[in-house]
Amino acid sequence: MRWYIPILTVLIFICNSVSAQLSEGGFPLQVVTLKSSDRAFIKMPLLKQSVIEAAMAANKTSDAQLKALTFAHAFNVDFSPSNSGVWYSTNAGFNVWRITISSENAYSLNLIFDDFELNNKGRLFIYNEQNNHYLGAFTARNNKPSHKFAVAPVAGDEITVQYEVPEDEGTPDDFRITRVNHDFMGILKFDRRPIQGKTAGDCNIDVNCEIGDRWNQLKDAVCRLIVDGREVCTGTLLNNTAEDKKPYVLSASHCYDKWEYAKTTVYTFNYESPYCAPLDGDPIHSLSGAIMKAHYDSLDFALVELDDLPPPDFRPYYAGWDRSSAIPDSSVSIHHPQGDIKKISFDNDAPDIQTFTSSTIKNPRYGSFNILRWDGGVTEVGSSGGALFNMKEQVIGTLSGGAAYCGNPVNDYFARFAMQWDYSSDTTKQLKYWLDPLGTGATELNGKQFNTNEDLCNAFTNLTDTDEHGNIALTVSGETKGYWGGTNSLGITEIVEHFNIYGNEILDGVSFGVGKLVTNNNNSRITVKVYEGDSYPEYLLYSKQVTIDNWAEDAMNFVSFNQMVEPAGDFFVGFELSDINTADTFAIYQSLREYEDATNHLYVKQNGSWESFTSLNPQNYAMVNVIELVACNYSLLTDTPTVEQPKNVWVYPNPTAGELNLESDKEIEPENVVVYNLIGQEIKTSVVKTDKFRIKLNLHGKTAGVYFVRFPYGNTFVTRKISFVP
């Protein structure tokens, strides 16, 4: 017999660092044992490399190139509080059940629960102490009619499940763990896509690039699906003719191998970079579970209704649709290739109408749109189910598969919404019954933003397409003294970003793009702060201490505000560094603006005094921090309230396959147009004047990649980032 001594203490943390999924927050009670029971630790069988390689190969060569992404292997199990784990009876008023599950070499683990009916006073946590990654507390509010529950992946190859109930509730058997899913790719930002996984191809376009500005509202309808803990697809939140906010999500039928998989799918909104750069987002806005309403293999669609209404801070938008037989002159798709942050693809031509066939999908005649060639971006595995939109921002199809990839952006197939509508008379195989509940016979419906006033939220950043984020070193006489965006030895103790958002905005939270994080689990903390002030921070409105040991490097990390924060006019958001352990390093990404008349947003507190970054460097450069605010009750319907570049300048097509047009409301002289590469070298290009206000650039023969074009505009200069994809 192995003896243990249970000791129950409350872990006291400065803030709620629990991430992802609707939960109550908080942290698990700590149970310390001298020796653990065999029942308290369970190790999964070793996952053979041959199984992983077969799954990876299938992702590349799947049947007819269907574009779902398999990232995990499923172990079927049966663990419950009555047959596994250990109950700890304590004198602190709680019974605590714990089980630790290990699967060697997993990048993350996620669980599927059945018979899930939590006690009204119970709290459930899933966590990895080593990685400081916690989910929960899940409570009776997470109980569902299906009695199933899926959790988002938790980083690492060992996770603990902990269930806490008051002593007078006994030791209830309130759930069963039926699936342990072993992530062999690295689906989480914690892993930065290790050797076996990869991010989306370089030709993909981040949804928040300037070229996608007109789609800023529509993008919020698109979500990433983790289906039954094993596959990644894309879905779109849809409006219906009753306009009653029913949260219908449309995706592909081949993403849901079984009807009941809707119940064990995690739906993640707003997983995207804050601006035009491949910077990993924070997958915190997630919901678990849905009910399948319609599913039809032949037309490859699945319509589910989410168990929970997406809350206002998820920024949900309900996309419209067009069920007519019209063929658009051009189209767009928004999706999650490789399960990566949200991307956007453009086809400037009309698609063909074709018949898509695989061993599992046999379209009726002319059941799909065929994108002959993408003019910007592509789709990849993980994009399956992503919508095809017409220029009225209405859904006209859903992605089944195709041959497109970055080296050859051709031949993708989207099942036609018009045929999905009522090709089958069976209400479980059509969209009509669910999306036109009023029987209006409407052929099209516009999208809808249902949230208003204090419930209307959006993301705001000062970053533009011309910015390039990095860790900006703080140097004196050539010697590095730390970072402008973080720890340093020059007396900078606070770093803030200047904002101005129109309206009586209420701040919901802030995301920091972490560029450098070296901690030794020393409980390092920053204090997030919000100041009011015109030229400099003056009045402290809000502060919150946050532990950063569990934050992810090279990714956005969200901090929610736990009280109403209402700045007026100009304000500043940032953090204080005083509680960073001396052995640790922390810095957020920034973008150095070296062009003339650039707007500065960085202000620092050095030796007790506030200074503008512009005044602290001899070149008078400007700086912007990689910080994104979520604010509600705003009045400006845009993600970028601060416009630094003239609006009446257009660069198109962008990305370009060779020729690029510049157009302005002011005269452009070809000799004044300069093109630079990423390292600042001038690139010689052919520049032809089309008319007084237009010129044409030719990049044929240049290396594929990102360039900058710069030319005079009145008394200032315009600098725009362009992508060359030959």
Name residue 148's amino acid: K
Digit-coded pLDDT (tens) for 530-585: 999 989 999 999 999 998 988 888 999 999 998 889 998 899 999 999 999 988 99
HEC states along 549-577?
Answer: CCCCCCEEEEEEEEEEECCCCEEEEEEEC
Q: Is the pLDDT of residue 120 over 90?
A: yes
Give the angle subtended at the CA of 318 by the CAs of 317 and 319, to the nearest 5°. 110
Q: 303 and 433 share a domain?
A: yes
Q: 500 and 431 share a domain?
A: no
Residue 681, pLDDT score = 61
Residue 636, pLDDT score = 43
Q: Is the pLDDT of residue 523 over 70?
A: yes
Q: 358 and 235 share a domain?
A: yes
HEC states along 37-73?
Answer: CHHHEEECCCCCHHHHHHHHHHHHCCHHHECCEECEE
- For 5, phi then psi, to 5°, come to -120, 110
Of 29-43, 187-201, 388-402, give the range with the top mean pLDDT. 388-402
Q: Is residue 196 a part of any domain in this protein?
A: no
The per-residue DSSP string of 223-260 comes to EEEEETTTEEEEEEEE--TT-----EEEE-GGG-SSGG
Q: Is residue 642 a part of any domain in this protein?
A: no
Residue 642, pLDDT score = 34
Q: Is residue 640 a part of any domain in this protein?
A: no
Residue 671, pLDDT score = 82
Nearest to 576 by CA among 529, 626, 509: 529
Mean pLDDT (whole number) for 644-661: 71
DSSP H or E stretch at residue 418: helix 417-422
Q: Is residue 39 a part of any domain in this protein?
A: yes
Residue 628, pLDDT score = 97
Alpha helices in 22-172 (DSSP H): 49-60
Cα–Cα dist 544/7, whole Å: 30
Digit-coded pLDDT (tens) for 413-429: 999 999 999 999 999 99
Mean pLDDT (whole number) for 618-639: 82
Q: 696 and 588 share a domain?
A: no
> What residues pair up with 650 in beta bridges, in sequence order?
663
Q: Is residue 644 a part of any domain in this protein?
A: no
**What percent of the chain has a predicted confidence (pLDDT) above 90?**
63
How many domains does the structure of the chain reveal? 4
Residue 193, pLDDT score = 45
> What residues pair up with 297 in beta bridges, in sequence order?
none
Q: 52 and 128 share a domain?
A: yes
Of 163, 191, 219, the residue that ends a domain is 191
Give the angle subtended at the CA of 60 by the CAs of 54 and 61, to the nearest 5°. 85
Residue 31, pLDDT score = 76
Q: 96 and 141 share a domain?
A: yes
Q: 174 and 260 share a domain?
A: no
Q: 83 and 178 share a domain?
A: yes
Q: Is residue 199 a part of any domain in this protein?
A: no
Tell me the CATH number at 713. Answer: 2.60.40.10
Of 191, 221, 244, the residue that ends a domain is 191
Q: 520 and 561 share a domain?
A: yes
Residue 198, pLDDT score = 59
Longest dimension (CA), the chain: 89
| Cis? peptide before 137, omega within 30° of 0 | yes
Nearest to 629 by CA among 341, 339, 275: 275
Tell me the CATH number at 212. Answer: 2.40.10.10
Q: Are 694 and 711 in contact (CB under 8 A)?
A: no
Q: Is the pLDDT of residue 191 over 90?
A: no
Q: Is residue 85 a part of any domain in this protein?
A: yes
Q: 388 and 518 share a domain?
A: no
The residue behind tokens 């956005």 is 556
Q: 96 and 236 share a domain?
A: no
Of 422, 445, 468, the residue that ends a domain is 445
Residue 399 belongs to domain spanning? 205-445
Q: Is residue 123 a part of any domain in this protein?
A: yes
Q: 222 and 299 share a domain?
A: yes
Q: Are 96 and 29 in contact (CB under 8 A)?
A: yes
- Share the mean pLDDT of the chain: 87
Cα–Cα dist 662/664, whole Å: 7
Name residue 328's amino acid: P
